[in-house]
Amino acid sequence: MTDADPTHDVVVWGATGVAGRFTAEYLAERYATEELSLAVGGRNRGKLDALADDLARRGDARDDVPVVVGDATDPESLRAVAEDARVVCTTVGPYTRLGSPLVEACVEAGTDYCDLTGEVNWVRESIDRFHDAAVENGARIVHSCGFDSVPTDLGTLLVQSFARKGHDAPCDTVRIYLDGGSGSVSGGTLASFGELFEAAATDPLAREALRNPYSLAPRGERSGVDAGEQRWPQRDALRGGWSAPSPMAPVNERVVRRSNALLGYPWGREFRCSEVVPTGDGLAGAATAGAVAGGLGLFTAAMSVGPIRSALRRYVFPDPGEGPTREEAEAGSFLIRLLGRGTGADGPFTVEAEFGADRDPGYGATARMLGESAVCLARGEVDSPFDGGVLTPSSGIGLPLADQLREVGFTISVGEAAEGGR
């Protein structure tokens, strides 16, 4: 760990990739006239120099953007990057193959870190390998700071904070609804998804991480009352109507449970959370729920078979580096609603929250979520009891991140639910 004052507040690592470029562009424009030392990093100096020139032109008051070069296969170069940054903000996946050396470098340097990973198996590995050292060295390692899993994790924190303040009791149950949206998927995202299934096929620990709903909890606490993600169409207990499984539930639910555990179980050890796709009422709602569940099940089954998985990755998935244009990333949207139920001194209550944005969830919105996570860490604008550790958005940054996202156009609200929780 170095005592030298770092040169860069935020290094966007993997800045010439699709998600990295969106994040770097966002930070360069948003903080052009403020005191934020931004650098871009990766392997290819030529591409980085071209990006840095473009970023400098985007902000009227911004000087040249520094470039830092390193390689995931060269620990010394990553250590130099980490030692000269307050925060390393990385979009380089698949994290299962490429992520650990950079995390290790940041932990050793005592440098904060944030990423976009939805690879549950790798987050579990990161927890087991690096949490204790990150605590000792004062490095906040905050995984899943994009669409996976900021809206669900921070949304749950908002619901629970409102419940505890207004009713002096937490919600026993939080239900997360993917209520709408439109967007696109890049080759890098699908590469990470393929890596997840590859790991599950070959690594018993990866399979266990996907089977156990509490796999991201601290060691010794990886069990509980929650049965895990919904797998079939169901009538919804809180809102009525039908719901289908959410493809993001295996990641987001585990992140929320880790937040509860890290924070000392303020929501109780009996707390349950679930994420679903609402599909409506009646026969039409049931049919849609069945179609969504069937399609997700078919895709999961296909990805679980080695030859089919290899063929999909080779012939169907776009190549890493491919993704939406800037216009497409800013044209999408998403809306997530959360309902929390609990019982206070005056009886049962229901809290409702909304979390949304008028941008592609995986790119335009994610660039802002990741970028603002990095800025909160760099400036120390966090509401967290932890100076270090392998953390979640809620436990490592907290509600200041929601405040920052509201300022840049996100719809984030919480209050008492209307009748019926709709």
Burial 220-249 (b: 16+ CB within 10 A, else e): eebebebebbbeebbebebbeebbbbbbbb
Look at residue 46 and tell me if it is in a domain.
Answer: yes
Residues 78 and 192 in one domain: no
**pTM exceeding 0.85:** yes
Tokens of 338: 């959360």
Domain total for the chain? 2
My answer on whether 141 and 182 are in the same domain is no
Beta-bridge mates of residue 351: 340, 416
Domain range spanning residue 103? 8-147+364-406
Is 241 within the bounds of a domain?
Answer: yes
Shared domain for 275 and 417, answered yes or no, is yes
What's the pLDDT tens digit per position in 126-164? 999 999 999 999 999 999 999 989 999 999 999 999 999
Whether residues 347 and 373 share a domain: the answer is no
Whether residue 141 sits in one domain with residue 164: no
Confidence band for 422, pLDDT divided at 50, 70 and 90: very low
* Interior/surface letters 178-204, b for 16+ CB within 10 angstroms, e for the rest: beebebbbbbbbbbbbbbbbbbbeeee
381 and 416 share one domain? no
Q: Tens digits of per-residue pLDDT, 194-208? A: 666 777 677 788 888
